[in-house]
Amino acid sequence: MKSNSSGDSTMSEVNKRVLSIQSHVVSGYVGNKAAVFPLQLLGFDVDVINSVQFSNHTGYPFGWEGEVLDGSMLGKLVDGMDRNGLLSSDDDDSGSGGIGNILTGYIGSESFLRAVVSVVTKLKDSNAGCRYICDPVLGDMGRFYVPEGLVDIYRRDVLPLADVITPNQFEVEQLTGISIETIRDAQRACRILHDSGVSVVLITSIVFPEGGSGDGDASKGMSTAPSRDSIGMFASQRQFRSRSARNSRNINCDTEQEQQKAQHTDEQYILYMPRLDGQFTGTGDVCAALFLGWTADGENAGENGDSPLKCALEKLAGTMQAIVQRTATAAAKKRSSASATGKAKMVSSRELQLVQSREDILNPPRNFGAVRVECNADAKC
């Protein structure tokens, strides 16, 4: 993963500052409301830009009220920070003034996404160690939440800037054109994303067809086959053997692709956990924030001899499962009290129990083991 080259002390300070550009709701936990609290618990200072301000998330049956920030206003907010020296630090001994991480989530228009690209480019130009963590929110379960035209902008303009992306299965399929039915499909999709410039890919949820995960060499190390009621997380990190190889990431011809392949390896893990019934809005936003937090220290984040990527994936799975399980339990208790406005109360009952899950964020349960996925010729990793 990328790191600030000015020294360990500066890196640790800079990486504890985040600019989060996401949606905001008055009531509930999605977007920045879902991301900021976990990051603050993990010790990060978070500068917040709300791309929208709504009364509630858009899944409620009686609509919502609020306003949308346009791309020009986003630029003005960032320019105001820049004029006051709030984007980067001139003090080499203290990185507290610099933004070390940019986090983006739901973006609903092409113009706003282009404005985000401009902001990310500006910040990366001023701080070479700044990481961009992108949750490319497009949709789920075969349905788009945003205009389909955003897919091309993500492919062309966003992926080359992103250090980390956290798509779900549907979003990976849209970004790569690969239908993910097996582990090898996931490997091929990650290779495409890595070749676009992304260092770390986290596929936050994969549901394989029955038997789809049994990919021979790719699934070595699995003690048991995943059940039909399990959901997978797949993480892939491209590791370069030299700085020059890292700096030549976008390759076009076959010969150069083979040369680049010899200069890197892709470290990959699969993890399975039980699927829980119900739909819980905001889980992807929490997931991206936690993954940012647990990968910010890069190569220093591993525990008990585990790789940093494996450690982050297991923490993430355990904490997300705890949050969703706690939310499902609370929702079940509230169902019997639904009144005439039952539809809205049913949605409200499934708002994430985020504050109540504080201890699971601070002390992540390691209930699910990630297994190293072997490279194979088809995936060309």
User: Do 232 and 370 touch, CB atoms closer than 8 A?
Assistant: no
Beta bridge partner(s), residue 133: 103, 164
Q: Which residues of 109-118 are buried (b: 16+ CB within 10 A; e: fewer)?
A: beebbebbbe
140 is catalytic: no
CB atoms within 10 A of CB 315: 23
- Please choose, from the candidates 321, 354, 324, the residue with its C-alpha nearest in 3D space to the C-alpha of residue 37: 354
Residues sharing a CB contact under 8 Å with residue 146, sequence separation 6 or more, in sequence order: 106, 107, 108, 137, 138, 139
Task: Report the alpha-carbon distance of residue 306 to residue 158 in Å, rounded.
Answer: 31
| 291-137-176 Cα angle (round to 5) | 90
Residues sharing a CB contact under 8 Å with residue 342, sequence separation 6 or more, in sequence order: none
Task: Report the alpha-carbon distance of residue 240 to residue 244 in Å, rounded.
Answer: 9
Strands (DSSP E) along 108-224, which ranges? Answer: 131-134, 139-140, 143-144, 164-165, 200-206
| Phi/psi at 247 (5° precision) | -80, -5
Selected catalytic residue, list 163, 185, 266, 285: 285
Task: Report the alpha-carbon distance of residue 327 to residue 357 in Å, rounded.
Answer: 9
Query: In sequence order, what DSSP letters do the residues of 232-246 get, joined into one string?
Result: EEEEEEEEESSHHHH
Query: In sequence order, what DSSP letters do the residues of 56-116 get, joined into one string?
Result: S-TTSTT---EEE--HHHHHHHHHHHHHTT-SS-S-TT--TTS--EEEE-----HHHHHHH
Task: Report the alpha-carbon distance of residue 298 to residue 200 in Å, rounded.
Answer: 11
DSSP character for 3? -
Q: What's the number of CA atoms in the CB half-sphere (13 Å) around residue 287?
A: 30
Q: Which residues are catalytic?
A: 285
